[in-house]
Structure 1
Amino acid sequence: MKLIERTSRTYLWLSIVIFLISAGMLIFVLTAVMNNRLDEQLRYNKEVLAKTIKYDYPLTIFDPPAELNESEQKKYPNDTVIFKDTLILRAIEGEGVDEFEKYRQLTAYETLHDKRWKIVVRNSLVRNQDFIWVIVLSSFIIIILLLIGLWILNTKISKKIWYPFYTNLDKLKNFSVQDKNPIELESSNIDEFKELNESIRNLTQKLQSDFSSLKEFSENASHEMQTPLAIMQSKIELLLQSNNINQKQSHQLQSIYQAGKRLSKLNKTLLLLAKVENQQYSTKEEVSFHNLIEKQLENYEDFILNKNITVTKNLSEHIVSTNAILADTLISNLISNAIKHNVENGTISIIYKEDELIFSNTGEPLIGAPEDLFNRFKKQSSRKDSLGLGLAIIKQICDVNQWQLNYHCIDKLHTLSVLFNKKQTSKSN
């Protein structure tokens, strides 16, 4: 839920709660005020009747009053005034129907002319209630219109205020550390947004600077390391061809030579991983995996024949939008992995269809947890020439392209599958 929606909903619910409480208080106050005025009117009418009885007795305009019964005499021995609401059945004019109508009633017990009198004065509450509900309904309509107006105004103002924020958020999502130019942010007159923009600019500039330095360091370090390694290997080769060394020295030199080759290979592999992670292979083009697989199988033909491996293929002509170098590296590592971890007289199955690439090979049972396969320097074989980085490179290439990489093993048949995004594949003409 967006902040604007969350804020608007909070204001709306708060307004509803305040309105309900205010409506209840308004009804209570109006009812109390109207009843108080009505009670004053009833009290005045009672005083008029009391004076009429006192000074115009015997009464000529009223029926003779009834005597108080014994229970009333005991209950109200002194002068008493009682207010209460009551219902009285009355006829509706012109309809001939009787209905109960609510009245406010004053009952007074007084002694006049040495006699106990019961004076009852009533006034209808219908008009008062109608008046109260008219006021409440009018207030309700005014408040609702006011809330709607404030909500619309608040929404428009909030969208205008938050526009730079959402614009900068989109720019930040599309930001890449490989961009040479600094990020351009939408300006705002809000102090908090100004501070946020300044922090984002400083952070992105620092990221770009660090990335550039790291990239330069990685490339320079790799280049500088390759030169002495090449010199060292060439010198060792010359020594190995010399007749002035014994067999023990020859074995030691061969170990040094193999270690140097391994170090050179490790250096190149780590540099490749760094470049992939830093998204230096961002250029995409239409790549035919069918052609790449055929080409790499030719390159590894000697290794396949050496182990007498049977290769079966089922390759479609679909093309994928990706970086050509990464695609070639992916296929090379998948084939190399299937050969290295295979057995003598084993099999390799390669299936390439519209949205999936599947490599299956026979091999020894897996050692360790399957989830550790794609971690760096995690090796499942004891081969000295294995660096434990092949599957890590495959995983990194899949992550960069947002492909899904899966592994499973059934009856010594190991399967690696790459699930492509269907939007990235198309049928080749």
Structure 2
Amino acid sequence: MYLKESSFIIHMLENTREILPNYHDYGFVLDKVLQVMYEKTGCSLKLFLDSEGQEEIWTVLQEDIDAGHAQLVANIFDYVETGTIIYEQNGDQQDFVIKPALTNSVYYYPEHQVGLLKLPIFQNHADYEREFLLAKNGHDLLQFLAYVYERQKEIMKDCVTVFTDTEDGVERTKEWITQQVSREDVLLEGELKNEIYRSIDEFFNESGEFFKTYNIPYKRGILLYGPPGNGKTTLVKSIAGSIDAPVAYWQITEYTSSYSIQEVFSIVAKMAPMVLVIEDIDSMPESARSVFLNALDGATSKEGLFLIGTTNYPERIDPALMNRAGRFDRAYEIKTPSLVLREKYLFGKKLDRFMTKQDISYIADQTKSFSVAQLNELYTSAALQWHYEQAVDLDKLIQNLKAANEKARTHEWETDPYSTSVGFDF
């Protein structure tokens, strides 16, 4: 639904600053914007306010400027910034770039005949900005919003969107998948691995046709738990790189609140079907848990959301999260790798380039309690030693890592006896 045409009671150009002191300057700027838009595009546009704070519009705009889909019509104030310096990473490439500023600028989509405007407003007590959409009518604007969300899905498929709760609200960044992780690279027991991937694949196969056929709610949640360094993140990366759907990663922090929970679920609901990974779910602040549970139950989300929660401390998980459809239906323990998996991992790292097969089997046998991350550290240490000395002392490497593991487990780190003093000596 959209607004019908309406008439105006008060016309800004018929009144002076003395008559309308609070409105005149604000209206004057917007009138100038509409005049310039008409001169440069030939379209008579109307103003619409984005009261929902739809960040997706501006995220898509930034991408579309780079892609040439959106054009800069004009900057508004001459003594306000028109560009921003950003350190950008795209794949293996990273460097400083200068991006056109979204604030203080008017952009236009010729294909949709829609303009976007972030207007800085300067007042004595505070400076702020308001976000406007410009379109010929409500119908065109709704068509454009449909484009925005389809475009956002397309953008999100090329990377992982990261939500981080901060003191100033939800910060959104994107991380490019620079190194594809294949499903074969994920170190899990065969039956467990098949069950997780089958659940994922069926969820996104033909828009969840399986769920409709068997009258199952089109929501799914799994919890991955176990000691750190055993491939929970690698599993998530392999999922992100192997499904045709957006993947978002939400980092819970001490700043997670009812507001940030509602914001994240509002965003992902518009992108569904998609995967939402919730990292360190056990660290959800107590004050926000009831809101989080309501969001999982569907009060603020919709169908098409596949949740993956991760934790290193399952004993801290709220029991209300488990064994309830729409929350987390299944929990999977990601254990330290078995002897077979340790050997598979070491051969996969191509240790046989400078070791015998017997040496590799010996390492696998001697590293019973090692996580995948610790096996990787052993490989790195062995490769460095071989590179510089053309020999590897396996027993010493293994013992050193075992000792480090034990100190980490018991927190018995060697410290400088003088390091406990605090303050200054006079």
The normalised TM-score by structure 1 is 0.19
Q: Counting helix residues as a fraction of each chain, which structure ranks higher?
A: 1
Relative contact order: is structure 1 or structure 2 higher (C-alpha 8 Å, sep ≥ 6)?
A: 2
The normalised TM-score by structure 2 is 0.19
Q: Highest Rg: 1 or 2?
A: 1
